[in-house]
Chain A
Amino acid sequence: MSTATPVLAAETGLIRFRSVHAIWWRHLLALSRVWQVAMTWFVIEPVVVLLAVALGIGRLVGEMDAYGSYALFVAPGIVIGTAMFHAIFECSWSTFERIGQSYYETALTAPVTIPEIILAELAFAITRALISTVAVAGFAIAFGWIPLAALPGLLLVSVGVGLVFGGIGLLFAALAPSMHALSLVFTLVATPLYFFSGTFFPISVLPDWLQPVAWAAPLTPLVELARGVATGQLGVVHLYCGLYVMALAALLYPLAVVLMRRRLMK
């Protein structure tokens, strides 16, 4: 049988790549079947925000010393904030629904392990973050708010967004007793982070006591990295940001594995 080789890997605790690939493919297939609706998430909604903020609020704000116009400041933040929503939605809401529909139970009857499921979920969170970034950054590039050369860098940052916020979403999916409880991931995590992570205004304008909190928030280093890439002003602070993101991802992955195993294996 063609499954003979991965069997060995299983018993030694290695990752069977086919499991990750197949679950990721399933998610992509499911998304592609609703592509008309998905288009609105990936394009219309973020573009509305981008135009309203950059053109509307930007008109009131006027020039920002370090960045030129407000649009140049805010565009990378909106790109990354939108990617965050996609990653966190995928791994909390969609994952929670799949738990309820016994999707993972079925997957586990195949030669699949929990770490492979978690990796597939994260891979798809990254995929959604990347699609979102291509769409939103594409518009910002067309308006001249982000240089085209920054796109590869923004995509790299979006991989970090997928890992960190996919991971956070999975913790909520694994712990939430109900859909109601799950909605806390948006009210407590996604929405506050969207506004207070240096996305719409520099953290330096916050009161002194709130600044350290904003810096520790998991979206902040990613927004900071995206802005550094977009403006070409990269410094040592971005090195710390990158390390912080990697540390978060490294912490969230095993935690998600443990909590999801507790949820799925009884």
Chain B
Amino acid sequence: MAAIEARGLIKTFGSLRAVDGVSFQVERGETYGLLGPNGAGKTSIMRMLAGLSPISGGELFLSGLNVAEQPRAVRTRLGVVTQADGLDGELSVRQNLEVFGFLIGLSRREARARADEVLGFFRLRERGNAEVDELSGGMRRRLAIARALMGKPEVVVLDEPSTGLDPESRIRVWEELAELKRADVTLLMSTHYMDEAETLCDRIAIMHSGRILDEDTPPELIRRHAGSAALDLRPSGSSRADIRDALTNAGLRFREVGAVIRVTGGNGAPPVLPPLEGVQVSERAANLEDVFLALAGRGLQEEQP
């Protein structure tokens, strides 16, 4: 049985379809990433799973339990880290954990013991009596993740776990998430950071405008949509228009990002350039960003008939 399964999932806000018929499966122990820009529908999917948002259509299951029919049973098996952290500023760090533990059904003694465990795991034990406001951004995020683990959930949902963190805190959060994965916890996370998705996720769904454009392991997505290598062209001032024409005529996929024109291949092959003049070419390994630009670009074109 899949840890999470969505079948034709829909979320509407008035006339807006934030999630537009999305289907995917997350296997037990897997880390699955929803990758896409703001407004792609990632948060809506997670909020529906967490019972924070009513499902407008389709079906959503957690370990075979229908989220719409058994929301409470689902939430006893699920840990949720929302974008806002939702930490309780009126309580100490330790009280945040213990009160939440009591709320999910632990006895006070169990909650105290479990709080010790998760504080240790997240290396926050010395900060147990601190006020939440005294914590750094990274510590706050780790405390929010620690809180989601109070009930030893089978599945943890993380909405942009490292957004707003400095590089060192990010790495630390990543390490701790990797450790959870080793403990066989299923993780569903959203992110708009390509490096985060590539580092943490077994599989990724690339989302745009409420739809999944494609889904696979990061290397396979890169092979399929960006080829083995990508080329960055840096045209000199006057040659830009000519180069654009030449690339179009050659049937190549490209996208202008600032001063650079990124050219991607596809189906495992690197792009082959036509003869060009007045341009500096550098080759690099293709990455998820190339995949995203290729896919999202296509998605946008489909929207405009």
User: Residues of A with Cβ closer than 8 Å to B?
Assistant: 1-4, 6-7, 10-11, 16, 18-19, 21-23, 25-26, 29-30, 33, 101-103, 105-113, 264-266
Distance A101 CA – B132 CA, assembled complex (angstroms): 12
The answer to whether B51 touches A109, judged by C-beta atoms less than 8 angstroms apart, is yes
Q: Are A10 and B103 in contact (CB under 8 A)?
A: no
Known interface pairs A2-B107, A26-B99; A105-B84 also in contact (CB < 8 Å): yes
With a CB–CB cut-off of 8 A, which chain B residues contact A25?
A: 99, 102
Contact between B105 and A6 (Cβ–Cβ < 8 Å)?
Answer: yes
Supposing A102-B84, A108-B52, A113-B72 touch, asked if A1 and B105 sit within 8 A by C-beta, the answer is yes
A-facing mask of B46-77, CB < 8 A → 1, else 0?
Answer: 00001111100000000000000111110110
Given A11-B73, A110-B75, A265-B53, A2 and B103 touching (CB < 8 A)? no
Give, as a whole number of angstroms, the nearest-CB distance from B72 to chain A: 3
Interface centre among B102, B110, B147 (most CB of A within 10 A): B102
Q: Return the chain A residue nearest B144 by Cβ.
A: A106
B91 touches A26 (CB 8 A): yes
Would you give the shortest CB distance from B144 to chain A, in whole angstroms? 9
With A102-B86, A111-B72 given, can you name 13 additional A-B contacts, CB distance below 8 Å?
A7-B72, A10-B73, A18-B103, A26-B103, A29-B95, A29-B99, A30-B91, A101-B88, A106-B88, A108-B51, A109-B75, A109-B79, A112-B103
Complexed CA–CA distance, A1 and B75 (Å): 13
The reply on B247 being an interface residue by CB < 8 A is no
Question: What is the distance, in angstroms, from A41's C-beta to the closest C-beta of chain B?
Answer: 15
Task: Tell me which residues across on chain A come within 8 A of B90, comparing CB atoms.
Answer: 30, 33
Question: Shortest Cβ distance from A20 into chain B, in angstroms?
Answer: 10
Nearest Cβ on chain A to B203's Cβ, whole angstroms: 24
B103 to chain A minimum Cβ distance, whole angstroms, is: 4
Number of B residues near A (Cβ < 8 Å) is 38
Q: From residue A50, how far is it (CB to closest CB) to chain B in Å? A: 29
Are A110's CB and B73's CB within 8 A? no
A26→B54 contact, CB < 8 A: no
Give 4 closest A-B pairs by Cβ, nearest first: A10-B72, A3-B105, A106-B86, A102-B86
Least Cβ distance of B61 to chain A in Å?
A: 15
Asked whether B88 lies within 8 Å of A3 as measured between CB atoms, the reply is no
In Å, the complex CA distance between A4 and B72 comes to 10
Q: How far is the CA of A112 from the CA of B75 in the complex (A)?
A: 9
